[in-house]
Structure 1
Amino acid sequence: MARRVDVAFVPEGIEGVYERFGFVGAVADGHLVIPVRNVERTAGGDPEAADPGIRSATPADLPAMVGLYNVAHAQRPWTHERHAGWNRLVPQTTWKPGSQTLVLRTGHTIAGYAVLEGRAFGDPLGTVTADELVAVDAAATRRLLAAVARLCWQRRLDRFTVREPADSLTGRIARHMGCSYEQRFPPSGGMMAAVLNRPSLVRTLEPELRRRAGGQLPDTARPQAIEALCGGDLFPDDRTLIRLLLGHWSAEDAYVHGAAVPDRYRSLCAAWFPGGGTPVLPAPYAHRLDRY
């Protein structure tokens, strides 16, 4: 790996194994839990009335869905940009739940979609989970959430799960409606990463680090800080560095966990590593349909 790339990722690391090779957990697995009543209170109207703009998706809708997804998430750490022919929707079989996909059309365009976990033969109607829910704007997001809530109302369920990050458009709308966000931080296994070639990796990222730094240091001092990061004088532990680069930790998180940084670099490191969930650095997130 190190002869080909500077950093390596595994989406489902084996517990107690990958740490031996320098990997560290780098992404929290999180999801929104939304009470149906909160959606109904926000949406208003008849909870049983179907939205005429929402229908089941067809294969012809996939390119538009891919485009919506890339606009919403492609710049997010750990998220894959999807190519035009992407189709990792799960086919439904008798004993295996597949993907049930809804699309929202406004005029002749698709304004949003939701990919729901389907049901296998004999499964109880105990849960409703959306693996993805992406839309162009807040109004379309609310309509899709209302459609999922309507499905729950028909099944007499009081809440549903949406696997989207809390700082996404869907997450912000759900937080306004009232929801909870549940995260899992596995101490071992799960989504892990390792730095393989630190100097090369830092050099590749140097333009972005310079952009984030802005006016934090004089131009003459910034190269010294880059060299310190490159050589390991600044954040010498590669496991800390990978968490900082992905936004899993902020610089302040690193200090809490024992990282020592000279005072002259503190403000610069805060600009370099603001942590996920900010406009500068979205929270790292891995959608289920892109895991291998």
Structure 2
Amino acid sequence: MAKEDIQLFVKAQKASYDTKCLHGALDCDEKPIRAHSIQNARVLDLIQTEGHVTMPQYKLVKGEPVIKFEKVGRNDASTFSGLCSKHDTELFKAIDTEPLNVDKCEHLRQLAYRSVMREMHTELANSERLWAIHEEICREQKVDPGEAGSEASIRSLGFTKKAHNVFRYRSKHFDKPTEDGKTPDLRHLIIEMDNQKPVLAASALFSVGFTEEGDIIGPTLNILPLNATKTVGIISYPKEQEAAVKASLAKVFDADEKTLKYELAKLVIQRVENFTLSPAHYDTWSDDKKARVLREFEASLREPKDIPDHPDLNIFL
């Protein structure tokens, strides 16, 4: 990578994209706050080691951007600036102030909605980062960013489209029912893992396909340690997408007690980028396991794919 490209990469990675509150119809003008998509006080506190968690992060190595598992301060881990203080409090009061109860539908809905909000903000932030790089290139070349094209501008538009898809998904399955006085019609697969140390947490929305109208078919996935010996995994999805989600995630839905945790771990590697590991747990992995998990994770980032089975992929162990 050329020196000027490295400078652009570093500049884009460090930039903060606190654009606006993304509540509802996007008509709130209050400044967004930094909030945790994976709760700090209860969840990250259980898996942190000396105030840090381990997450996949982009780093420059010999002038090239690569993904590595790195320690991140718990106060910075999994944060996003998608909502103002008022709307963040209104939307997530239950899960932020009460112990998680998987028998409470409101808790499950709020977890799913936070995953959707975080994904929408992430796609918009990615788009803005790439557009900033495009504008910098255009300034150097003394051309109009609105008229010229670049790889960065093309990729920026791609992320904008993804953000719009998430917005439509959110509007249809969460916002519109709520505005109409109805409860969002979701279904949940709850995976309770007893005798599981707190080593992994995750929050994500991902697509397993698209409807004929081009809308996302997407479940959310939350993995949350509840205490020192119990972790829960929650897959949530709109009722109307139940058949498609179950078919796409059959290896998880059809897994037996012996294989369920392994299949869930593989799903995280395949489809989730917003997850945190306990540094103390990660440090127990062999070099081969660290390399395999990173290799399969990085390959799946480019294009979700089946991962060859291997015991090292069980990141709960």
TM-score range relative to shorter protein: under 0.3
Greater helix fraction, Structure 1 or Structure 2 = 2
| TM-score, normalising length: structure 1 | 0.26
* TM-score calculated relative to the size of structure 2: 0.25
Choose 1 or 2 for highest CA Rg: 1
